[in-house]
Copies of this chain bind each other. A is one copy, B any other.
Amino acid sequence: MSDIRTFSTRRVEALTDGVFAIAMTLLVLDLHVDALGAVHSSGDLWRALTDIKSSILSFVVSFLLLGSMWAVHARQFEFIKRADRTLITINTFRLLAVVFIPLTTSIAGNYTDTVLGRVLFPVNFFLLAAVSYYEWCYAVSPAHDFASGLSKSDKAYLAVRNQAIVALSFLVIFVAAVVGEVAFVLFLLTPLLGRSRLQRPATRDA
């Protein structure tokens, strides 16, 4: 009977890959040649491109952040082998947070001089990180245990990594309120954080 109530995760992965791929590519639609205006020389073109410099930067930051949130999904579903209706619903809300990113990125690029304009994108990203973590918690909870092949120390490591992203993205909301998108450089700390934690359980296991 369990068969009919749970799904293989293959299609969840395919839909998720599709939504991430499209959201990441749609970001660039905001950078359109029409925004460059009248151009008569290489100098004009250069000035036009530097004028939309902050949009280009917003785009690159959002692209890389979406790329890393995709990697979080890929890693989680490397271990999650089955899904039930609730997990798929959580995943749909996660994708909802993904498709809002192009809009909040535009807002961040255009209204960077207002507090709300600076804050909406990090709030969106925080919600994405929070739902991502919640989906993982649901999947590995003893009640469902959709990631059965995973050792305790590995589970702990992955939980900490996900928590770190949620905590960092929460912190970024407040830093971004003051300094804008530059706040996302804080995410360069994630690998350091993750790597140091990784060593410890590894040695304990051995």
Contact = CB atoms under 8 A, between A and B. Distances in A.
Given A63-B96, A99-B28, A19 B21 contact: yes
Interface in A97-113: 99-100, 102-103, 106-107, 110-111
A1 to B, nearest CB: 5
A74 interface: yes
A153 to B, nearest CB: 9
Interface stretch (A5-13, A125-133, A136-144): A5-13
Nearest to A118: B42
Contacts of A159: none
A51 interface: no
A67 B95 contact: yes
Interface of A: 1, 4-5, 7-8, 11-15, 17-33, 36, 39-42, 44-46, 60, 63-64, 67-68, 70-71, 74-75, 77-78, 85, 88-89, 92, 95-96, 99-100, 102-103, 106-107, 110-111, 114-117, 150, 154, 157-158, 191, 198, 202, 205
A21 B18 contact: yes
Given A18-B20, A26-B29, A42-B114, 5 more contacts: A1-B202, A11-B17, A15-B21, A15-B74, A42-B117
A13 to B, nearest CB: 6
Contact of A28 (B78, B85, B102): B102
Nearest to A78: B7
12 contacts: A1-B202, A7-B75, A11-B13, A15-B17, A23-B25, A33-B107, A39-B110, A39-B111, A42-B117, A44-B114, A64-B96, A85-B191
Given A67-B95, A74-B11, A33 B106 contact: yes
Given A8-B78, A96-B64, A115 B42 contact: yes
Contact of A24 (B19, B42, B115): B19
Contacts of A106: 32-33
